[in-house]
Amino acid sequence: NDTLGTRSKANGWKEANGIFGGETLTKQYGGGVCQVSTTLYDALLESYPYIEINDRSNHTIPSTYVDKGLDATVDSNHIDFAFTNTSDYPMYIYAYYTENKMYKSRKRDLTVVIYGEALPEGTEYVPRAVLVSEESPGDDIITESSKLFIGEENILAPARNKYVVDVYVDRYLDGVKQEEIFDHTDVYAGNPLRKQVGTMPTPTPVPSPTPTPTEGP
């Protein structure tokens, strides 16, 4: 957050979808910035022995572009992402975006590469998420609104299941798994469907007056 500053219109950020209130998406300045922190986080996990995560939180809503448990959210002056290089060498972060071939007009692909102390020959670390449990969101929460007509409804938040996920970082040597390292557990609380239903009576339609025929020539 100190690096990026406050995500606002005045600071040049554009609008995109972001989580609001923990259960719905709204247009926000700097929305989508979590894809940057998430991609950085996943790249760092592949440098597992040489990093320490100091501050990282999962989203309230699972991300669509990464497995549950492998996301890292940020929010101006609120939620941060921070890590420490624990190796004996400098660490460089190289990040860039490229055009998405399937969605050229609105999507970009993000790549993050970590340069630093080399892993032992043939060694690699691969993050892995394991779903522990999934629970239904429970009963719908329905409230009445006098601003909506009878039969109309307004979805305030779609229903989302609760998920509990364990995350491991597996160590491989020459392509063969050597060790499963437990890293953390994430909980996505989920939420019931919340909607408003209308109570305002539907107005009675007023018939148009029958037009008076005009005489022919």
pLDDT in tens, 70-120: 999 998 888 999 999 999 999 999 999 998 888 777 778 899 999 999 999
CB 157 within 8 A of CB 24: yes
Angle at 91 between CA 64 and CA 57, to 5 degrees: 35
User: Residue 217: which pLDDT band, with cuts at 50, 70 and 90?
Assistant: low
pLDDT, position 185:
97
CB 110 within 8 A of CB 36: yes
pLDDT in tens, 159-196: 999 999 999 999 999 999 999 999 999 999 999 999 99
CB 58 within 8 A of CB 75: no
Please determine, for residue 144, whether its predicted confidence score (pLDDT) is greater than 70.
Answer: yes
pTM (two decimals)? 0.84
Please determine, for residue 22, whether its predicted confidence score (pLDDT) is greater than 80.
Answer: no
What's the CA gap between 129 and 69, in Å, rounded?
6
pLDDT in tens, 24-49: 788 888 888 899 999 999 999 999 99
CB 123 within 8 A of CB 175: no
Residue with the bigger pLDDT between 153 and 77: it is 153
3-class secondary-structure state, position 26: strand
DSSP-derived secondary structure for 127-180: EEEEEEEEE---S-EEEEEEEEETT-EEEEE--B-EEEEEEEEEEEETTEEEEE
pLDDT, position 115:
96
Percent over 90 (pLDDT), the chain: 67
For the chain, give the mean pLDDT. 91
Which parts of the chain are beta strand (E)? 15-20, 24-29, 51-55, 82-85, 92-99, 108-115, 123-135, 141-149, 153-157, 162-173, 176-188, 194-200
Residue with the bigger pLDDT between 216 and 117: it is 117
